[in-house]
Structure 1
Amino acid sequence: MSDIDTTPLSAALPSLIFESCLYGIALILFISTVYFIATRRTLASRRQTVKHHFISPVFVGATVLFLAATAHWVVEIYTVFYFLSHFKGAVPEQAFYASPTYGADIVEATLIFIAILVGDSLMIYRLWIVWARNLRVLIFPIFSLSGVIVMVIGLFCVLSRSTANFPFLGGTESKPWVATGFLLSLFTSFYCTSFIAFRILKFNVRSTGNSGLTFFLAILVESAALQTFWLIFASATNLAGSSGEFQLLTLGAFPVVLCISNLLIHARVGLGWSSESAGVQPAKREYQGAV
């Protein structure tokens, strides 16, 4: 990770630019979601009010992801501007640890952990709703989520004793914890995505009202396939020892990508793409009411 140690700005600047573009998308989706929830009529029951939708677990979780993405973006801006104003070229080790950016890296890692835990929890919740609250399908993802929580605790213990720059990315002590967390979270995402997509496909197999493209997009959005794809991408780049710029780019965008993935579900329901009329009856109707 010498490239990160010597040229921190070259690693952080591309990540900030990419994350800023994604954050603009997330901001538009979040504002649209609030508008849809505040103005739409209830989809599941007349007893459900606007307040019910605002306090639903899916919206609360999406809001937490949006706040985590916002905080991560602000910290990233602070880090880049600090490097621009204080350092040129290589950063001496003592100056790096004395600068506020070292603490900012720990904050960024914390926000990434929060995003992963909330994102996995929302996927498990969606799986539970789509499968008509069948607890048996939750056994494996709950165990994997518990493993991720243990990983986060263990990794924080390692980070607190680490003396390496950007220990979350390249420290030899942290790499086994990071690899384990990625694998467990990847299992949760792949498991939930597959089962949600299967459930949607099963209830829409006799449908003739949706076009093939609309149906395909519905499966991608509601199964949170974007979250699973980015997790695979980030896992491959970080565990394969890619360049520091590439690792920071994939990890830095993690909170905002998870936020977009979850907000797309609200946007889909709000725009009227709901597959309720296509035959996903009772599980999908119940799920849309929970959004």
Structure 2
Amino acid sequence: MANTASENVNGVLSVNLASICIESLLCGMFDSLTVASIYILHIRTEARRGGRPPLTLPVLVVSGTLLVAVTTHWILSICRLFIGLGGHGSQAAVEYLTECGQPLYVAEVAIVFLCTIVADAVLVFRLWVVWSHNKTVVVPPLAIMVGLVVCSVGGTYTSMEVGHTENDGLTSKVGKWTMSGLICTLCTDLYCSCMIAGKLLRTHRCTERAGASCAVILNWLPIYIESAAFYTAWTLFYAITYGAQSAARYIGAACLPAAAGIACTLINVHIGFDQLPKSEQRQGGMWDRAPQFTTWIPEWVSETYDNTEAQATQSRDSREDAGDKG
């Protein structure tokens, strides 16, 4: 029994130390991506004095919110680790690190939920833009997001009320709120990712039928899939480890804010670096203008789909008329 308890203590301490290392790496990546994204947007704004500036208030608000939240979560994680390890034995450190009622832990829980809500909101907004502002399409993810907000408030409040040590899994109040929030996030991610990818592929087929060049869609689709898959995979990892009450859940929880931030920012930086060197060579064709960053997703995806679909319909009608006359 003593050996088992000792192994459990060492395992929890090792996982918490590993989570700090991984979170520091991801936080550094996110901070770098955010700064690079804002810098690219600033350059593009300076290069397009006469056009619509891509650097808008929503972009700055979302970037700033995620930057402050992710960095604050990282600082709180380091503080908790030093407080837990400083001047205490291994057993006391584990009790502190696994206690749900600690003020710093409650603050971390609130930040995790905040970053998750922001990331899901950005994803839903991208879906809304790509689908030509179709309100019906975004009703399901918005309903799920309401559930996520409820779980966030309930989980944070429950964490403040809990004073005992490590929660006992899905049977506890904290566990129920947390798992419910993770399920809501996974449903939103999968729905929006599939709908956006389907829209892009449908746009690709329509542009091909209309005889237009659409290679940029095929270049953009993997970028989106990579960022969405990273965030979804990390959320799924956290949900599985939390449901199994594995010690690895501490890594999933600690790095979830950074993973959400990277998913929101990576796509903008990737497209920006891909398009910026060619910006002077573009002359304003249908697919020649660079992506706009005002809505965190190229608006020309939905615009071009509508235009090419109309062109394809007109072309079919013309051929049918010509066949009737012949």
> TM-score, with normalisation over the residues of structure 1?
0.81
Counterpart check, 1:138 vs 2:133: no
Identical-residue share of aligned pairs (%): 22
Match of 1:229 among 220, 233, 237: 233
Q: Which residue does 1:19 correspond to in 2?
A: 23
Alignment of 1:70-109 (within 5 A): 70-91=71-92, 96=96, 102-109=102-109
**CA displacement 1:97-140 (0-9 Å, x = unmatched):** 9x9x9221111111101111111111111111111111111110
1:42 touches 1:289 (CA, 8 Å); kept in 2? no
Q: Which residue does 2:120 correspond to in 1?
A: 120
- SS of the aligned residue for 1:253 comes to helix
Following superposition, the deviation at residue 27 of structure 1 comes to 1.8
**CA displacement 1:63-114 (0-9 Å, x = unmatched):** 2112111001111111222233222311189x849x9x92211111111011
Q: Which residue does 2:264 correspond to in 1?
A: 262
Q: Which amino acid aligns with 2:181?
A: G
1:164 touches 1:171 (CA, 8 Å); kept in 2? no
2:169 touches 2:243 (CA, 8 Å); kept in 1? no
| CA distance in structure 2 between the partners assigned to 1:3 and 1:211 by the alignment | 55
2:151 touches 2:177 (CA, 8 Å); kept in 1? yes
Q: Which residue does 2:314 correspond to in 1?
A: none
| CA distance in structure 2 between the partners assigned to 1:280 and 1:181 by the alignment | 39
Counterpart check, 1:39 vs 2:40: no
2:40 touches 2:272 (CA, 8 Å); kept in 1? yes
| CA distance in structure 2 between the partners assigned to 1:73 and 1:289 by the alignment | 29
Q: Which residue does 1:209 correspond to in 2?
A: 215
1:79 touches 1:104 (CA, 8 Å); kept in 2? yes
| CA distance in structure 1 between the partners assigned to 2:170 and 2:222 by the alignment | 36
Following superposition, the deviation at residue 155 of structure 1 comes to 2.0
Following superposition, the deviation at residue 157 of structure 1 comes to 3.1
1:23 touches 1:256 (CA, 8 Å); kept in 2? yes
| CA distance in structure 2 between the partners assigned to 1:150 and 1:211 by the alignment | 37
2:228 touches 2:263 (CA, 8 Å); kept in 1? yes
Taking structure 1 as reference, are residues 262 and 43 closer, same or farther at Cα in structure 2, changes over 3 Å only? farther
| CA distance in structure 2 between the partners assigned to 1:60 and 1:197 by the alignment | 26
CA RMSD of aligned residues (A): 3.5
Q: Which runs of 5+ in 1 are unaligned?
A: none
Q: Which residue does 1:183 correspond to in 2?
A: 183
Taking structure 1 as reference, are residues 87 and 195 closer, same or farther at Cα in structure 2, changes over 3 Å only? same
| CA distance in structure 2 between the partners assigned to 1:258 and 1:280 by the alignment | 30
Taking structure 1 as reference, are residues 170 and 75 closer, same or farther at Cα in structure 2, changes over 3 Å only? farther
Taking structure 1 as reference, are residues 113 and 47 closer, same or farther at Cα in structure 2, changes over 3 Å only? same
Counterpart check, 1:155 vs 2:159: no
Alignment size in residue pairs: 278
| CA distance in structure 1 between the partners assigned to 2:240 and 2:40 by the alignment | 36
Following superposition, the deviation at residue 24 of structure 1 comes to 1.7
Q: Which amino acid aligns with 2:225?
A: L
| CA distance in structure 1 between the partners assigned to 2:31 and 2:125 by the alignment | 23
Q: Higher mean Cα deviation, 58-67 or 174-183?
A: 58-67
The structure with the largest alpha-carbon Rg is 2
Following superposition, the deviation at residue 215 of structure 1 comes to 4.9
Higher relative contact order (CA 8 A, sep 6+): 1
Q: Which residue does 1:61 correspond to in 2?
A: 62
Taking structure 1 as reference, are residues 281 and 119 closer, same or farther at Cα in structure 2, changes over 3 Å only? farther
Q: Which amino acid aligns with 1:266?
A: N
Following superposition, the deviation at residue 167 of structure 1 comes to 4.2
| CA distance in structure 1 between the partners assigned to 2:267 and 2:286 by the alignment | 18
Following superposition, the deviation at residue 180 of structure 1 comes to 1.5
Taking structure 1 as reference, are residues 66 and 124 closer, same or farther at Cα in structure 2, changes over 3 Å only? same
Following superposition, the deviation at residue 250 of structure 1 comes to 0.8
| CA distance in structure 2 between the partners assigned to 1:158 and 1:4 by the alignment | 29
- SS of the aligned residue for 1:90 comes to helix
| CA distance in structure 2 between the partners assigned to 1:80 and 1:219 by the alignment | 35
2:170 touches 2:243 (CA, 8 Å); kept in 1? no
| CA distance in structure 1 between the partners assigned to 2:171 and 2:6 by the alignment | 14
Q: Higher mean Cα deviation, 225-234 or 113-122?
A: 225-234
**CA displacement 1:234-261 (0-9 Å, x = unmatched):** 111111222x2x1010110000011111
2:34 touches 2:265 (CA, 8 Å); kept in 1? yes
Counterpart check, 1:241 vs 2:242: no
Taking structure 1 as reference, are residues 96 and 18 closer, same or farther at Cα in structure 2, changes over 3 Å only? closer
2:115 touches 2:260 (CA, 8 Å); kept in 1? yes
Counterpart check, 1:218 vs 2:219: no
Taking structure 1 as reference, are residues 253 and 234 closer, same or farther at Cα in structure 2, changes over 3 Å only? same
Taking structure 1 as reference, are residues 226 and 155 closer, same or farther at Cα in structure 2, changes over 3 Å only? same
